[in-house]
Every structure is written in structure tokens, then in C-alpha cells.
Amino acid sequence: MAKQLHKRFPGEQVKSLLERYLYKEIESSYILDILGIKRRRFFELVKRYRKDPENFSISYRREKSTRTISKEIEENIIKELSIEKSLIENRDMPIKSYNYSYVKDQLWNKYRQRVSLPTIIDRAKKNNFHFPRPKKKSHDREVLTNYVGELIQHDSSWHKWSPYVEEKWHLITSLDDYSRNLLYAEFVDPETSWDHILSLESVILRHGLPYAYYVDSHSIFRFVQGRDSFWRKHYKVTDEVDPQWKQVLLECQVKITYALSPQAKGKVERPYGWLQDRIVRTCARESIRTIEQARELLKAEVSRYNNHQVHSTTGEIPSLRFHHALEEKKSLFRKFSVSPPYQSSKDIFCLRAERVVNPYRKISFNNLEFRISGVPIRGTVQLRIIPDKVSGVAEIRFWYDNKLVGIEKVRNEDLKLVHF
């Protein structure tokens, strides 16, 4: 960028050129070329010089802005910063720093007051609502994939989301790495394998089968020798036992990638930091007291993020980047279909167990007995269990030798599904 006129030429040189122009000693085109200015700027200088040749100067002093904000806005800024401070000082809340951008949004959403971020930060520093953030190690925030559906980052966060409730809730999320579009987000309490299977069902039935899922080594996702075994002598090694969630993906032929270190796990959790931060703050301000209220708030926040916010890494709105990639055929999602002999998606997105038929042609499952017909004694029956949280009743589908041999309805509580 070219320097300003007063930094490139002494004032006396400019005055001399203007004077020669007025005496018709030099044409304006030459002066424009010498000074490197536009015609409009040149004739503004000529006008000023004609008006007061003796005091003409091209130097100027930058005037300090005298704009002030109203007393009402000032009070609302302090009010919102005070709420921020109370959340930070609450040790049970996962908030460790001020979020001035969030305060700016609150001033508009609640009071319809537009305030610049520097103004808010200035008031925060003057009123002791500010402290330097600790320096963080640098890391690369980059998209490592070339297609939507190439990698789905899946995670669960356990926090006290509102100061008005005693319990903590789990937030289950699935995010497409390429577009940064959130494909699934839900609060659950408690967290079970079935909740994570429901997230798979939601993503796959809506978008198709992705190429891979990226998760940490939580016991819901992976069996790890030593951690998940109770005996000193281990009979099963790591990954020799497949948890329920993993069995679903293996049957769908979807690859699973594990984060093997805290640093790698951070890459999974980092995209959710903004979500956790804003939800906790909003739960506090709106006095959220139930998980149902929190779920409604979560829907609104996910919609805002997916459809309105430009992502800092991609420079695009996540949902638009996602749909543009689909239009350009940059997708590794595959169409989902139920493979024979199974008849319904319920046979895929389910909990699994196996039992052997006894001499009375019955099987026992969690202290419940079921009569099975068409299966020989000592035959192994596969149970595919589909709990319904709304009705509280689970459907059990019995399979033997690739045939559906029976269906039973049982209350969820009688099945003791907490063990899954």
C-alpha cells in the first residue's frame, strides 16, 4: 500500500506544485503523476490552497474518537460480564475464560444493542472482568479429508451443563471432518451403548454409510486388555472382543479409526469446544433445569452453527460446504441397504446377544425365559434387541440359521439394558 501524501512529500513541495498550477506554469496531469494521487484528491488540495495559502498544510493529526455509548448499554455490558464472572468462579462449570463474542451476541439478542467487540473488551479490562489467557501450544487446525463422509468424528462429553441442576449430562456428537457440519447432537443421561447406536442410525439412514468413524478408546467403542478385564490372567486381548457399537459398524462395513493418545484425542474434541462453551453459558442465562429444556436449546445452537456461522478453519458455512461437496460428487457416503437375510434396519441398528437353546427348547436372558420353536436343542440363537425409550418396551428378534424364528416384546427395565 502506498504511503500517505504527507509521508511521501514535504509540504513545501506540494505547495509549490499547486502554486505553479494556479499560475498555469504546469499542467495538472504532470502533478497527478508526480504526487501519485487521483484528480478528485488533487482538486480538493487546490481548493484548500486557494482558500488559505498561508496556513495550507498536508499534515494532519488523527482525531481521537469522541463516540460514547449510552448509560443503558454500559450497564448491560457490566451485567453480562458479571454473569460471565459468576460462571467462571463456579468450579462445577466447564468454563475457564471470558467469551466476549458471546457477550456481544447477548447484547443484541436480549437488548437489541449493537456494541463492538473492542468496546466490550475495553469495559471488561476497566471493570476487572479480564485476565490474560494462558499461552497454548500451537497446533494445526486443518481439514485432513478431501470428501464428505470420509471421516466422521464421534465423541461424548460429560459436563454439568447448567448451574441449576445437580447432575451431569452426556453430549453425544458426530461431525463430518471435511465440511465441519454437525450430523448428530443429543443430550443423554445416562450414557449407554444404545445411545451411540441411535446416533449411528440417525447419521447412516439420513446420509448413508461413511468411509470411517474416528473415536477415542472409550469402552463403548473399544475393548482394551487390562482396562476392560477384571482378571489378572487375560483370556482376551485388545480388540478381540467387539463392543455393541463396534459390531454395528463392522456389519455395515464401515472402518473405525482410534485416537491412540491424548494429543490425538484432542483433535476429536477440539471442534466441540465452541459448542460446549456456548451451551453452558446459555443454559445458565436461561435457567435451564431439565434435560428436555437443554435438548431444545441444543437444537437451536446446532442450527445456528451449521447454517449461519462461518467456520474458522474452512472459511465456509458448514451446511453449505457439505451440500456443495455432495453436488460436486465429492462424497464417500454409500447408500445404505439391508443385506439378506435381514428384513429391516432394526436388525442392523440393535443390541446383540447369543444364547443356546436348552433341553426345554427355551433360552434364558437376564433372568427372563423365552420359548423358541424351530431351533434344535443346543442350537445357538442370536438375539437382536431394539429398545424404545418412548414406549419403554423393547422388541427382541430371534434369529437362527439366517431365519427369523420369533419376535417378543419386553419392558426395557426387565431386560436390564444398563449392562449394554
Tens digit of pLDDT at every position of the chain (420 positions): 456 787 788 888 888 888 888 888 888 888 888 888 889 989 999 998 898 888 888 876 555 555 688 989 999 999 989 988 888 888 777 788 888 888 998 999 888 999 999 999 999 898 988 877 655 554 445 567 899 999 999 988 888 888 888 899 999 999 999 999 999 999 999 899 999 999 999 999 999 999 999 998 888 887 565 545 544 444 444 444 689 999 999 999 999 998 876 555 555 455 567 778 888 889 888 889 999 999 999 999 999 999 988 888 888 999 999 999 999 999 999 999 998 899 899 999 999 999 999 999 999 998 899 999 989 999 999 999 999 989 999 999 999 999 999 999 999 888 876 555
> What does the H/E/C string look like for the chain?
CCCCHHHHCCHHHHHHHHHHHHCCCCCHHHHHHHHCCCHHHHHHHHHHHHHCCCCCCCCCCCCCCCCCCCHHHHHHHHHHHHHHHHHHHCCCCCCCCCCHHHHHHHHHHHHCCCCCHHHHHHHHHHCCCCCCCCCCCCCCCCCCCCCECCCEEEEEEEECCCCCCCCCEEEEEEEECCCCCEEEEEEECCCCHHHHHHHHHHHHHHHCECCEEEECCCCCCCCCCCCCCCCCCCCCCCCCCCCHHHHHHHHCCCEEEECCCHHHHHHHHHHHHHHHHHHHHHHHHCCCCCHHHHHHHHHHHHHHHHHHCCCCCCCCCHHHHHHHHHHCCCECCECCCCCCCCCCHHHCCCEEEEEECCCCCEEEECCEEEECCCCCCCCEEEEEEEECCCCCEEEEEEEECCEEEEEEEEEHHHHCHHHC
Q: What is the pLDDT of residue 319?
A: 96
Identify the three-state secondary structure at position 15: helix
Nearest to 396 by CA among 174, 387, 281: 387
Q: What is the pLDDT of residue 226?
A: 52
Q: What is the pLDDT of residue 344?
A: 92
d(CA 41, CA 39): 5
Q: What is the pLDDT of residue 20?
A: 86
Q: Which amino acid is at 81?
A: L
CATH assignment of 152-327, among 3.30.420.10, 3.40.50.720, 3.50.50.60, 3.30.365.10:
3.30.420.10
